Structure 1
Amino acid sequence: MELAELLRTRYSCRAFRPDPVPDDVIDEVFRLAQATPSWCNTQPWQVHLLSGEATARFGKALGEHVLSGAEEAADLGLPAYTGVHAERRRESGYGLYSALGIAREDRTARAVQMFKNFSFFGAPHTAVVTSDRALGTYGAVDCGAYVGTLMLAARSVGLGVIAQGAVATRSDFVREWLGLGDDRLVVCAVSFGYADGADPVNGFRTSRANLDAVLHRVDS
């Protein structure tokens, strides 16, 4: 699949079939992602890939942690959505709930859908991406580029995939569960597998801003 087609057809998969992805396919996806450029070629990303029973155990423990009411701990901080960013976030959320037939005022159903983040939407595989804390913002930016490449690589071999910032809002728990040191920053998780085409959630697509809203030309 050409890059233009990959970009046009990419979406965040929120329902997966349980079938595991063969190891050779997984290796190819991560091999492609390893070509991601990085600041001074530091390649700061480290990836902990959970599959099968490990995915299930991690999701169960993470969900219980969230339900316990424990405080959030996000290494990269929690975003403050204002202005156009808040508007785009609302549009995306309402569009998702509409695709699922969830009314705006149905807070319970919305919470149930949100909670699916912590079971990785049923994906058989989830990859936790971390950066070296000493590299600060540059390391996190490089990991963001890596995640983008990883998602396109997964799409190129026919997989459904979603990047999950929600998992990174529990950085302390994730680090402890994986046995990571404090020198690792939890950036996000990337869950993947074969998309469940029968689930209406996978028919949802977000909009994109017009080019003139983001591209500022300086000619002189």
Structure 2
Amino acid sequence: MTVQDFARETDPAEMLEQLLRDRHSCRAFLPDPVDDEVIERILGIAQLTPSWCNTQPWQAIVTRGAGTTRFRDALLEQARGGPPQPDFAFPTGFHGVYQARRRTCGYQLYDAVGVAHGDREASGRQARENFRLFGAPHVAIVTSDAALGPYGAVDCGAFVTSFMLAARALGIASIAQAALAGFAPFLHTYFGIPEDRMVVCGISFGLEDTAHPANCFRTGRAPLPEVLTWHD
């Protein structure tokens, strides 16, 4: 069933739920480029995202063609050494249920691609796929206005979700990548991002390589009672 067929046969809530279920973090892409018109439609839909006081703090830089190849090569070289330097501080640590969920996701990926537990060389190779953009033909670098602080980042997070759902609805796979934000100084220099804007994340996107083992697993979600508190 196509997305269009599904839309005709379901109500809006069911369609949204199905898009959320179908969307996943794609970790292997085909090299085929996405038409500019499709990319602009994805961004146009994402532009409808709500934001605080309608500030719309997000901006996106999108690579294509040789621009993606040059950026990928430069990023891989940059990623050879040095600690992360994100504009927004990374988590200081993962604990409790957050650590458990993170480990489960990691184990699922490693099992899918054949990385044995404890094989640091193989896990390192898989981690470097982030900086190869998982072979995607495009990446969007999302930034926010520095003066809006964490609230601008929250709005940008909503924009990223809208982008990925719109992409999924149009048959385009994607993955949001905080790993790219770890090289914020490089991104500022490479793309000429002014200092009054902060790098939130990257989104690699394109056509999914459905035959690649990295795309054969799906992460779970916590049951509603774990995240919901009623107050009467």
Shorter-normalised TM range = over 0.9
1:115 counterpart = 2:133: no
Distance in 2 of aligned mates of 1:160 and 1:206: 16
Structure 1: runs of 5+ lacking an equivalent? none
Q: TM-score, normalised by structure 1?
A: 0.97
The equivalences for 1:53-132 within 5 A come to 53-67=66-80, 69-79=81-91, 80-132=93-145
Give 3-state SS (helix, strand or coil) of 1:186's partner.
strand
Structure 2: runs of 5+ lacking an equivalent? 4-14
Distance in 1 of aligned mates of 2:180 and 2:217: 21
User: Counterpart amino acid of 1:172?
Assistant: P
In the TM superposition, residue 180 of structure 1 has moved relative to its aligned partner by 1.1
User: Counterpart amino acid of 1:147?
Assistant: V
1:20 to 26, 33, 39: 33
In the TM superposition, residue 189 of structure 1 has moved relative to its aligned partner by 0.3
Q: Following superposition, which runs of at least 4 residues in structure 1 exceed 3 angstroms of deviation?
A: none
Give 3-state SS (helix, strand or coil) of 1:126's partner.
strand
Give 3-state SS (helix, strand or coil) of 2:63's partner.
strand
Percentage of pairs with the same residue? 52
User: Counterpart amino acid of 2:182?
Assistant: T
Distance in 2 of aligned mates of 1:88 and 1:128: 26
Give 3-state SS (helix, strand or coil) of 1:51's partner.
coil
User: Counterpart amino acid of 1:105?
Assistant: G
Distance in 2 of aligned mates of 1:78 and 1:24: 34
Aligned partner of 1:139 in structure 2 is 152
Distance in 2 of aligned mates of 1:32 and 1:86: 34
In the TM superposition, residue 70 of structure 1 has moved relative to its aligned partner by 2.5
Measured against aligned partners, the alpha-carbon deviations of 1:40-98 in whole angstroms (never above 9, x if no partner) come to 0000001000111111111111111110x233211111112111111110111011101
Number of aligned residue pairs: 218
8 Å Cα contact 1:56-1:119 kept in structure 2: no
Distance in 2 of aligned mates of 1:147 and 1:104: 32
In the TM superposition, residue 23 of structure 1 has moved relative to its aligned partner by 1.0
Q: TM-score, normalised by structure 2?
A: 0.92
The equivalences for 1:143-154 within 5 A come to 143-154=156-167
